Structure 1
Amino acid sequence: MDITRGVLIALALVLLGLSVAFVAPFLQFFLLAVLLAYLLEPAQRRLTPRIGARVAASLLVLVATLALLIPLVVVGQVVVSEGLSLVRQVRQGDITLAQAEQVIYGVTGLRVDIAGTLQSALSDGGTQAFGSLLGAFGAVTHLFVGLGLTVFLLYYFLKDGTAFMAWLRRTLPLPDHVQNELYAALDDIMWAVLAGHVFVAVVQGVLAGIGLFVVGIPSALFWTAVMVVLSLLPIVGSFLVWGPAVLFLIANDQLLPAVFLLFWGSVIVGLSDNYLRPIVVDRYAQVSPAVIVLGLVGGITVMGIMGLFFGPIVIGALRATLDVFRDEYRSPPGT
């Protein structure tokens, strides 16, 4: 390796490290812009020949902002309000779990103080969470700056996405057919995770939430939002909420609602997972539940909330890359 090449590689690595450091404070919003750009890219590609890349990108950014941000703010406000109301009721002792504690004692023989434990945890957590008004103001400021950055990046990702992919193809030291295989595999993984797991998780969580609304579980919208997130976990998913809700109804002598919720969760919600997930996932790529769970847990730890989407994608992309490498560069038989 000559000196010029070594200097250029070293300079590229230093600049790459600095670029990562610059992006890191707003990683969540950067990844959100990437995710939205990927989802909107087909529409951008169809609109560009008709109205131009700039107008198409502006229109899609506006539509995405109105379609996602406004419902998210409204639902988020209600969820936070219900969550705070639930916390306040537990703190004040308005929600009593004495009957549930008696059921646990009758089954296991153990005395537990669920309400006392929750009150203590919420009291300690509340003191730490709301102890600094300045910290809260800084978090809100960071949120608004990040959302503005997301909108800005989304516009340029859409407008210049085709040019960026062309530059990437020219820059990467890989033959065109290898890049085609790699991009196709990555595209399958992206859609398998987004359509086959995220979309199904939303459907599952909403269906389970309908059951909570019907039987009159307190703060049902809050628990629906929780179940949407939990439904990303295969097998257990929303059961972690509606299962205890059935026990809660039994403990409060509401046997008919408990039976209905048990039937709704086991049959209706269960069928949505057993039938909808394979139909959607099989259209794109087979992604093991182990990849999903590992990607979710590791992704949230490393990336935060966006790890729910990108964690499984990263691990799935590793498998896709290794598959392309095996098919392209494995030694022929007999060598």
Structure 2
Amino acid sequence: MRNSGIYFRSFVTLLIIVSVAFGWLLLPYYSALFWGCVFAISFTPLHRKLLAKIPAHPNTAALGTLLLCLVAVIFPLIILTSALIREGATIYRRIESGQLNLGLYYERIVNALPESLHRWLEELGIADVFSIQEKLSAGALEGSKFLASQAVNIGQNTAGFLISMAIMLYLLFFLLRDGSSLARTINLVIPLSDEHKQMLIQKFITVVRATVKGNIVVAATQGALGGFIFWVLGIDGALLWGVIMAFLSLLPAVGAAIIWAPVAVYFLVTGAYWDGAILILFGVLVIGLVDNILRPLLVGKDTKMPDYVVLISTLGGLATFGLNGFVIGPLLAALFMSVWSLFPAAINAQKM
């Protein structure tokens, strides 16, 4: 029995070592692997429908689902990213040449304010036009410079990008084809009760699908609507602002309004009352209602976490994992809450 305990501990130690080493080996391509798993989970229901029609051809069903994923998601994202980078580069050149100066817009807003409000801004220390101008111009220059630099980075790292894309698509094909058997294997090695395993796995799948299917669709819709109204009103960089609004709409309590609301205020205080009124009405009645209408339909009320948890976990995920964090953050938060909800039952089972 003593030797058996030593062997088991040695085996667990070896298992941890080789698992960490394997994870370290895959680390350079973790984004490709992560998104391969995310897309596989998201498109599994569609794959099952295709497989039900051609049960004797699993490879064809997996390939068909992969092609649909490419057409519906991956290719549009690549095209949008390319257009966004080009527009960022254009805005960078305009800011650098002085054609576009955000500080001047701020100056117009301050000069158009009533005297009482102007004095209040001075007391708060934010009426120093020249100081704010410099900060706004510097911030806009840095942001557009970052987008412009991405065009150079993508050009220089084309080989790495193509390798990551190939790995993701290759993994996605096999996860779609062999996902069911792989899930059963993983289910067998998890050292938890069947009930707890089922709950955690279901929570994992639900959060991933809700984030991708629900939040991304809502974000894309709000971003597209925001970019459209900016284009209609003749605002420079409508595509860029639309993408920014799409990202911000992933965050509850702030959303796309953090972009369109200041622009509407600028229109109103500078005398463009019709433009300001149109932007406010469109923002409140169209962009704002998208979240209330689409999110419950695509996500489902029973899968939503509290808004403050989503906000904090999304911000933390973005800060820690970059763009991948808007999925990883809420996923970790959901698993955290699920595991702690199982803790009392685990304690009671231990006592018995």
TM over 0.5: yes
Q: Answer whether contact 2:318 2:326 (CA < 8 A) is retained.
A: yes
- Return 176-185 or 89-98, whichever deviates more: 176-185
CA shift, 1:288, in A, is 0.9
- Return 268-277 or 218-227, whichever deviates more: 268-277
Q: Answer whether contact 1:198 1:309 (CA < 8 A) is retained.
A: no
Residue 111 of structure 1 corresponds to which residue in structure 2?
A: 128
TM-score, length of structure 2 as denominator length: 0.83
TM-score, length of structure 1 as denominator length: 0.87
CA shift, 1:134, in A, is 9.2
C-alpha distance in 1, partners of 2:289/2:143?
38
Q: Find 2:21's aligned residue among 1, 18, 35.
A: 18
CA shift, 1:187, in A, is 3.1
CA shift, 1:279, in A, is 4.7
Residue 231 of structure 1 corresponds to which residue in structure 2?
A: 249
Counterpart amino acid of residue 66 in structure 2: V
CA shift, 1:129, in A, is 8.7
CA shift, 1:32, in A, is 0.9
For structure 2, the 5+ residue unaligned runs are none
**Is the aligned partner of 1:331 residue 2:336?**
no
C-alpha distance in 2, partners of 1:126/1:216?
19
Residue 320 of structure 2 corresponds to which residue in structure 1?
A: 302
- CA distance 1:72–1:281, shift in 2 (3 Å): closer
Residue 100 of structure 2 corresponds to which residue in structure 1?
A: 95
C-alpha distance in 2, partners of 1:134/1:103?
36
**Percent of paired sites with the same residue:** 22
Q: Answer whether contact 1:191 1:284 (CA < 8 A) is retained.
A: no
Deviations 1:280-321 (A, max 9, x none): 444442311122112212212222211111210111122123
CA shift, 1:75, in A, is 2.0
Structure number with greater CO (CA < 8 Å, separation at least 6) is 1
Residue 41 of structure 2 corresponds to which residue in structure 1?
A: 38
- Return 219-228 or 263-272, whichever deviates more: 263-272
Q: Find 1:261's aligned residue among 279, 292, 304.
A: 279
C-alpha distance in 2, partners of 1:101/1:14?
60
**Is the aligned partner of 1:55 residue 2:60?**
yes
- CA distance 1:166–1:240, shift in 2 (3 Å): same
Q: Find 1:72's aligned residue among 69, 77, 88.
A: 77
Counterpart amino acid of residue 323 in structure 1: S
CA RMSD in angstroms comes to: 3.0
CA shift, 1:175, in A, is 3.1
- CA distance 1:175–1:100, shift in 2 (3 Å): closer
Deviations 1:91-130 (A, max 9, x none): 1111244253132254324222455445545667788998
Q: Answer whether contact 2:215 2:250 (CA < 8 A) is retained.
A: yes
Q: Answer whether contact 1:299 1:306 (CA < 8 A) is retained.
A: yes
Report the secondary structure of 2:348's partner residue.
coil
Q: Answer whether contact 1:192 1:281 (CA < 8 A) is retained.
A: yes
- CA distance 1:149–1:216, shift in 2 (3 Å): same
- CA distance 1:127–1:314, shift in 2 (3 Å): closer
- CA distance 1:99–1:221, shift in 2 (3 Å): closer
**Is the aligned partner of 1:29 residue 2:49?**
no
- CA distance 1:189–1:54, shift in 2 (3 Å): same
C-alpha distance in 2, partners of 1:185/1:52?
30
- Report how many aligned residue pairs link the two structures: 333
Counterpart amino acid of residue 112 in structure 1: V
Q: Which residues of 2 match residues 40-189 of structure 1 at below 5 A?
A: 40-49=43-52, 50=54, 51-97=56-102, 98-104=104-110, 106=113, 107=118, 108-109=121-122, 110-113=127-130, 116-121=134-139, 138-189=156-207
Counterpart amino acid of residue 204 in structure 2: L
C-alpha distance in 1, partners of 2:234/2:151?
35
Q: Which residues of 2 match residues 306-317 of structure 1 at below 5 A?
A: 306-317=324-335
Deviations 1:182-201 (A, max 9, x none): 32333333344334433322
Report the secondary structure of 1:233's partner residue.
coil
